[in-house]
Amino acid sequence: MIYQTVRALEIIAALATTGSLVYYALGLWSAANFLRTPKRAAPASMAPVSILKPLKGTDPEMYENFRSHCVQDYPEYEIIFGVSEPDDPAVKLVEQLKTEFPQRAIQLIVCPKQLGTNTKVSNLAQMLPQARYDHLIVNDSDIRVEPDYLRRVLAPLADSRTGLVTCLYRGAANSTLGSRLESLGISTDFCPGVLVARQLEGIKFALGSTMAFRRRDLAAIGGFEALADYLSDDYRLGNRIAALGLKVELSNVVVETFLPRYTMREFLAHQLRWARAVRDSRPWGYLGLGITFGLVWALLTLILAGGAGWAWELLFGTAAMRLAVAIFIGGRTLRDRHAMRWLPLIPLRDAIATLVWLISFAGHTVSWRGDVFKLRDGKLRKASP
């Protein structure tokens, strides 16, 4: 009986490993197709755009991130920053920015109302009335961009069939292990998944690194107010615009995010919050995420097979494919020099990701910006003390 059970588990693990190999091959194919996508030329007439950046506290390299938005090779745009409190530490950086770039249209809006449990979206709803233009970009405060960012990101919106443009990103790691694991996961785990989704079913969501869209399409989905209680507001925004029958396009622009000095505890909390957010947004897709942990499945197969030669071959083949995905997507597609330095951490990263995936099914609680919430159907509500 024990032998039969072990044998059955061995077969399951081997099949799961095979599924992982198929997924890795899909990742390489998807990335190659993404790289072959023709670059769009900027339209002759470039629409003015309002950049909305909600802020809370400070991030690593924050001022340089802000500066990168002020040196855009684009004829007409404005930047609107929003904070909940007038004494937020980010306010000083915005004032410094206004001093350095007096020619730029830069506004700072204090957003005193709490329109939902997601403070970021609440602030966006209060910032929007101050925006002058019909084209809007929302991106996170830790994002740094190149001078041609606006030209390239806004180009697809010249097509009326495109409703939103979003971007992949790479993470610049800080000096801690948690920060390095986060960077590695973005480039070798998260972004491959986005590219596979694009290839198989098209992008029907957005990433917080960049969301470019039209004001009228935002109004058609109920405005920012309709998203004010959701944790994954970026996912919901893209999903609802896609539901209007409009295309969500993944730009060939790759932006950069500068990661905090995560302790391991902070890193794990962030991973669990992200995992539960994805599970709540795409439950079936998230369940299928388990098939992507090829190294873990291959190692389990090796153990259950008693170190059989074929199991060793399967493990080595899986490791080679996992490394190929990391190098081609992280190094070639995202041009992520940081993550390439931490490739030896991939087995640790994958083991942690597997544990987080399993633990994420055990509850609905997430910790976010110092508060504890219950997550139900994507919506946040304050947890009872």
Q: Which amino acid, one-letter code, is at 212? A: A
pLDDT value for 363? 84
* The 211-214 sheet, strands edge to edge: 105-110, 77-83, 49-54, 135-138, 211-214, 162-172, 247-258, 143-144
CB 157 within 8 A of CB 212: yes
Does residue 151 lie within any of the structural domains? yes
Is 273 in the same domain as 355?
no
| Domains: count for the chain | 2
pLDDT value for 3? 75
Looking at the DSSP assignment, which residues form a beta bridge with residue 172?
258
Rounded CA gap, 297 and 303, in Å?
10
Give the pLDDT band of residue 384 (cuts 50, 70, 90). low
Is 188 in the same domain as 325?
no
What is the token pair recorded at 379? 């919506």
What is the token pair recorded at 69? 């938005």
What is the token pair recorded at 335? 């041009």
pLDDT value for 372? 81
Does residue 373 lie within any of the structural domains? no
Is 193 in the same domain as 229?
yes
pLDDT value for 382? 75
pLDDT value for 76? 96
Query: Is the pLDDT confidence value at 177 over 90?
Result: yes
pLDDT: which is higher, 368 or 290: 290
Rounded CA gap, 14 and 10, in Å?
6
pLDDT digits (tens, 9 = 90+) for 5-16: 888 989 999 999
Does residue 326 lie within any of the structural domains? yes
Residue numbers of the domain that contains 349: 2-35+281-368
Is 253 in the same domain as 288?
no
Q: Do you know the residue count of the chain?
A: 385
Is 185 in the same domain as 307?
no
> How large is the greatest C-alpha to C-alpha distance in the chain, in angstroms?
78
User: Which of 69, 73, 120 lies closest to 98 in space, CA to CA?
Assistant: 69
Residue 270's CATH number: 3.90.550.10
What are φ and ψ of residue 234, in 5° steps? -65, -45
CB 108 within 8 A of CB 148: no
Across the range 248-257, mean pLDDT stands at 96
Is 273 in the same domain as 285?
no
Looking at the DSSP assignment, which residues form a beta bridge with residue 136?
50, 213
pLDDT value for 339? 80
Is 73 in the same domain as 207?
yes
Is 79 in the same domain as 128?
yes
Looking at the DSSP assignment, which residues form a beta bridge with residue 175?
none
Does residue 376 lie within any of the structural domains? no
Across the range 19-32, mean pLDDT stands at 98
Q: What is the pTM of this model?
A: 0.93
Give the pLDDT band of residue 147 (cuts 50, 70, 90). very high
